[in-house]
Amino acid sequence: MPVLREEPPPRKIYLAGPDVFLPNAIEIGVKKKALCREFGFEGLFPFDNEQQRLLSVRETARGIYQGNLRMMQEADFIIAHLTPFRGCSADVGTAFEMGVVAGMGKLTIGYTNDPTDLLSRIVNADPNATKDEQSGLWFGSDGLLIEDFGLFDNLMLACSLESSGFPIVRPTRPVPPPQRYSHLEGFKICLNIAHRHFSTVSGG
């Protein structure tokens, strides 16, 4: 009798991003997980770890943190949604999660719905920012240096993605509200990148 080979379980993706703050966060999570299945992956969305109120708000926060950390450990790689959130940079929680997964030596892939670079966003947000003509360096109205490497965000985020071999996925023009955070074309491109990457790695 021929030996039947069991199909390996699908690789798991930690789906990081500010999506959890959207009014329709659960709907977005369901859509993302469905797209993951189409590409042969299993999506782990932070809302899957939603905690009921425990003894206190602090206990609840710790429970969410510990649950998300377990999901990151369980995941094979991360797709991070890095559209600037409540400021000029990516959501700080997402940045932390990317760092954790990168520190585990796992693949990091990311997308943004904003095509601009970090410097231009900071300068636009700070009308009193100035460029020192002698050095060519930019300084904010607070007198502090503005990072300028021509990157989409802080160099630690950008270089983490590039170290995995896949620079940030971003559109040619900004995605306007109200779809700024819910637009999923960049996410689909990331899934395609991951599918091709792991197909090459596995030889399939």
For residue 83, the domain's CATH number is 3.40.50.450
Tokens 């009014």 found at: 23
Mean pLDDT across the chain, nearest whole number? 93
141: left (phi over 0), alpha (psi -120 to 50) or beta: alpha
Are residue 102 and residue 121 in the same domain, yes or no? no
Are residue 164 and residue 190 in the same domain, yes or no? yes
In the predicted model, is pLDDT for residue 55 greater than 70?
Answer: no
Are residue 142 and residue 184 in the same domain, yes or no? no
pLDDT of residue 185: 98
Are residue 100 and residue 31 in the same domain, yes or no? yes
Domain that holds residue 147: 117-151
Are residue 121 and residue 107 in the same domain, yes or no? no
Tokens 């023009």 found at: 173
Is 4 among the domain residues?
Answer: no
Is 146 among the domain residues?
Answer: yes
How large a percentage of the chain has pLDDT more than 90? 84
Are residue 131 and residue 103 in the same domain, yes or no? no
In the predicted model, is pLDDT for residue 119 greater than 80?
Answer: yes
pLDDT in tens, 24-50: 999 999 999 999 999 999 999 998 766
Is 2 among the domain residues?
Answer: no
- pTM value surpassing 0.85: yes
